[in-house]
Amino acid sequence: MGYEIDFLPVGEESKGGDAIAFRYGNLHGLRREQTVGIIDGGYTECGDALIAHIEKYYATDKADLVVSTHTDQDHICGLKVVLEKMRVGQLLMHLPWAHSAVMERARTSSYWRNKLNDPARRMLEAALELEALARARRVEVIEPFAGMSTKDEIFTVLGPTELYYEELVTELAAQTVEARKQEVPKKLVGESTYNETLRDDGETSLTNNTSVVTLLDVDGKKLLFTGDAGIPALTHVVDELEENGFSPGDLRFVQVPHHGSRNNVGPTILDRLLGAKGQSNAGTAFVSAPKKNPDNRHPAKKVTNAFHRRGYPVHATQGSTKWHHSSDAPSRSSYGPSQALPLHSLVEDDGGA
């Protein structure tokens, strides 16, 4: 059984996003022998690019399943275009109002909606719009929680659990102000193969931690998609994986979370997921990154270094599509080898990302 994964470029300048297409099955056979999926759609203009890419390389106008990992604009807007213009079998997305009394009240009342803090209101409104569009297009909507999978059990949701999602949404809806990180003056620090400055104390947003984390397991080849999940969310995922016999380094492919932000991963979670420092050629990592990265935030050099020294060199979109595939995937004449990001000897040590 073959597979291919495409990370499309998102963002022209310093703001990126996720727009991912994949398919698996008999890639040289009939359409019914394949499953085609989309994970996030980037900004609005990325939706048309996703559709065109799938029509050209997957030879279909239908996505069997579409995953909305979370409601940030750089992930969800293009999915509206996909739903409007493609045939879609199932939409996997969370419905925050089904897991919070505050969100449910705000769903039907503009008065209570205006009482929400900005992140909670943005989450609610984005989810309402996407769900309404799916219903109008008669697309089946399914909430993706840990343990659910496709009928063939090849594509599986690893996180979040429903309980963890409810905890996050409840906490988000209860917040009154959005905390802002204090800026720290930039400086350069040295790194090497074993000298690592990435820390375990990174914190990302509650919304990011609601991200759907999924695993594609094709004939034992494990391919992990992380969205914008942070350390707590990934810890839940790895806990579950380990209970089912997972060992560090079992992944053939991994998505670097949140465009390579230093706030989403640390040495401990990476050791559990990828293995110890000093490995080489254990697998491949992709990161959705904007063309420009003036502050070394997306991706952070210390993050790509951390993946590299564990045997997962990072390939960044940065304006071009990145293609990962099995050996039996159909060839593409216009595609050549991708150059991984190097192991940087100097990394930014600031409060960004």
Nearest to 289 by CA among 308, 303, 270: 303
Q: How far apart are CA 336 and CA 71, in angstroms?
A: 33
Is residue 308 over pLDDT 90? Answer: yes
User: pLDDT at residue 293 above 70?
Assistant: no
Report whether 299 contacts 264 (CB < 8 A).
no
Is 290 within the bounds of a domain?
yes
The model's pLDDT over 203-244, given as tens digits with 9 standing for 90+, comes to 999 999 999 999 999 999 999 999 999 999 999 999 999 999
* CA 38 to chain centroid: 11
Give pLDDT tens digits for 116-164. Answer: 999 999 999 999 999 999 999 999 999 999 999 999 999 999 999 999 9
Q: Which tens digits make up the pLDDT trace of 240-273?
A: 999 999 999 999 999 999 999 999 999 999 999 9
CATH of the domain at 46: 3.60.15.10
Joined together, the tokens standing for residue 186 give 């930039």
Q: How far apart are CA 353 and CA 346, in angstroms?
A: 17
Which distant-in-sequence residues (6+ apart) come within 8 Å of 198 by Cβ? 262, 265, 266, 267, 270, 302, 303, 305, 306
Percent residues over pLDDT 70 in the chain: 92
Domain holding 257, by residue range, is 2-328+341-348
Residue 145 belongs to some domain of the structure: yes
Q: Is the dihedral of CA 194, 197, 203, 207 positive or negative?
A: negative
Q: Which of 286, 304, 300, 291 is nearest to 342 (CA)?
A: 304
Domain count, the chain: 1
Whether 127 maps to a domain, the answer reads yes
Give residue 183's pLDDT band: very low, low, confident or very high (50, 70, 90). Answer: very low
Q: Residue 343 above 70 pLDDT? A: yes
More confident residue, 141 or 295: 141
Assigned domain for 334 exists:
no
- Whether residue 8 is contained in a domain is answered as yes
Residue 88 lies in a domain: yes
